[in-house]
Amino acid sequence: MISGFVFRALEGRIVAAVGILLGIGILVPALNLLTPPDSALHIPTYAMSLFGKYLCYALLALALDLVWGYCGILSLGHGAFFALGGYAMGMYLMRQIGPRGVYGNPILPDFMVFLNYKELPWFWHGFDWFVFAMAMVIVVPGLLAFIFGWFAFRSRVNGVYLSIITQAMTYALLLAFFRNDMGFGGNNGLTDFKDILGFSVQADGTRAVLFFMSALMLSLCLILASAIVRSKFGKVLVGVRDAESRVRFLGFRVENIKLFTFVVSAMMAGIAGALFVPQVGIINPGEFAPANSIEVVVWTAVGGRGTLIGPIIGAILVNGGKSFFTGAFPEIWLFALGGLFIAVTLFLPKGIVGTIQHGFKARKALKAAADAEKGRGDAAAVAQAQAAE
Amino acid sequence: MNTISETRQKSLLYLENVSVSFDGFKALNSLSFVVEPGELRAIIGPNGAGKTTMMDIITGKTRPDTGTVLFEDAIDLTKKDEADIAQLGIGRKFQKPTVFESHTVWDNLELALNRSRGVFATLFYTLSPEDKARIEEILETIRMTHRKNEYAANLSHGQKQWLEIGMLLAQEPKLLLVDEPVAGMTDAETAETAVLLKEIAKTRSVVVVEHDMGFIRELGVKVTCLAEGSVLAEGSIDFVSNDPKVIENYLGR
Ligand SMILES: Nc1ncnc2c1ncn2[C@@H]1O[C@H](COP(=O)(O)OP(=O)(O)OP(=O)(O)O)[C@@H](O)[C@H]1O
Ligand SMILES: [Mg+2]
């Protein structure tokens, strides 16, 4: 049963993608660690961490594709789950600083000392323990998605209305996390991390492991997502996207189907956020910004929604472009992004991967038609006669 | 013997004095309507008579303002939602054919199959030999074996209607509600659909809404004519079509 579930996931394209991801996950750290800095093959640590960040974004886009591409839920708040996962990791990293902070308080992070906190808020307890913090990375986004989805899907909020309340959700969290009295460091967020599991977050070796972990988690989530969409459940999911009432009248509980998918997706986004934070070295409320969530939609659309691999490619390409543009021509980046989205919507509605797939299918159909024609000469003659008319 | 069978006979579907209004407009006006087990029933009536609304009420899509809706004499359908009602054994074909266009014919039937519909049951589902046989049997019934690997989007309108009927069969319902199954079909397809529905009705109750009088005649069953949200006449096709009220409200127009 379980083996069938996993086995179905390992279809050709997915195996290839996982192979490439894991190859990159090993090769890039190896080139960083094993080659001398002046070698032509050397990958500098900053570049490795930059690409590691793209892999985290790719995982976020994959998470969005599961709900948007397959279930038709256009979430404009997935950045919130990403940020929550990031904050859970950030809280662990803050607790690891210990007495090495500016104020030297062994328990309280610097910002709490600065804000005159007398003791650690209750929700900070346990975050010094790695396993607990990693559990929170998936539990907190999962729980928020569950509560949100429970109400939204039960009351059948759909389409634009759902998108709007997901935006409102991330915006509300943005405002909340900006407040100093929330206990999450206000607008400065959490930063100045020292080490993770006893290893310095700045060290090349740690960065290399974080990079590999990003590639590994992305691969595992890709396999999980593929297993989900290729199961009967996945077919129901597409049914919900295309003809929700048909699914309901067949006796399925659409609200449970959506809820499960939304929660799984939020957890993936949380993992992405947790891997992102130690590689960029900071998490602040800006990650909750509504615009961030909208950008995720753009990556997914560019790569091709409902293809799983497309959003990964889209996230890496668009963010690569962003890094280039913001370095070379910072003032036109936003226009480039907006233009890209419009161009994709108009000319590549299926995204890059969707269009390529479509092309393959069309070619196959053409070939099949041509073969059929060869097989039956008179049919070809009829077709020709028809074409001549 | 007669009395025993009469007392033992239960209605499968029982509607009494059902009313519903939308913004003051009475779509159903104390409608009463009974379907016996194993019965094939045709429903006719002018546009806006409330035929689709009646199906909405039976399948839990719309809640009635007043009235009783019972399934198998015991289950109050007004307290249940669409998924519950489908699981009780009421299947429904929509007026506009609704199939999963991006799935193949086979997958459409597999999804409709009356199996556990929970999240985890569907995640770990594998096609069993019985399920495979059942799907093949339905493909035969709806005459679509040769198109089983075709995407539903590529089917003709009539084939989509049949596929949807096949999906309802896969659901193994006790009661089938079929809204305008032959709309947009050719005459040959219409005739075949009549045969198909009669065959289906051998093992379950079927309620068919249709405007096509030729088709209704072909079915040769008891007819109910609705108008303005209540029953205008009920009986054989000849009886109903000679009723002056029916002629005035529907056939004459
Ligand atoms: N959800 C709704 N909201 C408002 N009005 C509705 C709703 N559903 C149905 N109506 C109205 O109720 C009346 C009955 O509609 P219904 O669809 O049941 O008619 P029908 O007998 O199926 O007609 P047709 O033969 O055209 O399908 C119509 O006037 C329709 O506009
Ligand atoms: Mg109707």
* pLDDT tens digit at each of 389 positions of chain A: 678 888 888 888 999 999 999 999 999 999 999 999 999 999 999 999 999 999 999 999 999 999 999 999 999 999 999 999 999 999 999 999 999 999 999 999 999 999 999 999 999 999 999 999 999 999 999 999 999 999 999 999 999 999 999 999 999 999 999 999 999 999 999 999 999 999 999 999 999 999 999 999 999 999 999 999 999 999 999 999 999 999 999 999 999 999 999 999 999 999 999 999 999 999 999 999 999 999 999 999 999 999 999 999 999 999 999 998 888 888 888 888 888 888 888 888 889 898 888 888 777 777 776 776 665 444 444 444 444 44
Q: Where are the domains of chain A?
A: 2-309
Q: What is the mean pLDDT of residues B2-28?
A: 79
Q: B211 Cβ partners below 8 Å, 6+ apart?
A: B44, B180, B183
Q: What is the mean pLDDT of residues B152-171?
A: 93
Q: B76 Cβ partners below 8 Å, 6+ apart?
A: B68, B69, B70
Residue B19 and residue B62 in contact, taking contact as beta carbons nearer than 8 Å: no
Q: Does A67 touch chain B (CB under 8 A)?
A: no
Q: Supply angle C-alpha A275, A333, A69, rounded to 5.
A: 55
Distance B58 CA to ligand 2 centre (A): 14
SS3 B199: helix
pLDDT score of B8: 42
Q: Which residues of A touch B118 (CB under 8 A)?
A: 253, 256
d(CA A316, CA A269): 16
CA distance B115 to chain A (A): 10
Strands B175-179 and B90-93: parallel
Q: What is the mean pLDDT of residues B93-118?
A: 94
pLDDT score of A25: 97
pLDDT score of A377: 43
Residue A151 and residue A262 in contact, taking contact as beta carbons nearer than 8 Å: no
Question: What ipTM did this prediction achieve?
Answer: 0.91
Computed over every residue of chain B, the mean pLDDT equals: 91
Exposed, middle or buried, B74 (CB in 10 Å: 0-12/13-18/19+)?
A: exposed
d(CA A59, CA B246): 63
> Quick check: B7 pLDDT over 50?
no
Instruction: Decide if B82 and A260 are in contact by the 8 Å CB cutoff.
Output: no
> Phi, psi at residue A311, to the nearest 5°?
-60, -30
Give the position, in ligand 1's atom list, of the atom nearest the Cα of B49: 21
pTM for this prediction: 0.92
Distance B20 CA to ligand 1 centre (A): 11
Report, in angstroms and rounded to the nearest whole number, the Rg of chain B calculated over CA atoms.
19
Three-state SS annotation for A288-314: HCHHHHHHHHHHHHHHCCCCCHHHHHH
d(CA A309, CA A61): 10
Residue A303 and residue A352 in contact, taking contact as beta carbons nearer than 8 Å: yes
Report residue A258 CA to chain centroid gap: 18
Residue in A5, A224, A250, A307 to test binding to B, most B beta-carbons within 10 Å: A250
Please name the amino acid found at residue A151.
F
CA distance A368 to chain B (A): 14
CA distance B106 to chain A (A): 12
pLDDT score of A374: 62
- pLDDT tens sequence across B41-71: 999 999 999 999 999 999 999 999 999 999 9
Find, in chain B, the residue whose alpha carbon is nearest to that of A261.
Answer: B119
Strands B66-71 and B75-76: antiparallel
pLDDT score of A8: 85
Q: B154 Cβ partners below 8 Å, 6+ apart?
A: none
Distance A175 CA to ligand 2 centre (A): 49
Give residues (CB < 6 A) around ligand 1.
Answer: B 22, 27, 45, 47-53, 95
> Phi, psi at residue A118, to the nearest 5°?
-95, -35
pLDDT score of B9: 57
d(CA A213, CA A308): 19
- pLDDT tens sequence across B185-241: 889 989 999 999 998 999 999 999 998 888 999 898 999 999 999 999 999 999 998
Q: What is the mean pLDDT of residues B16-28?
A: 94
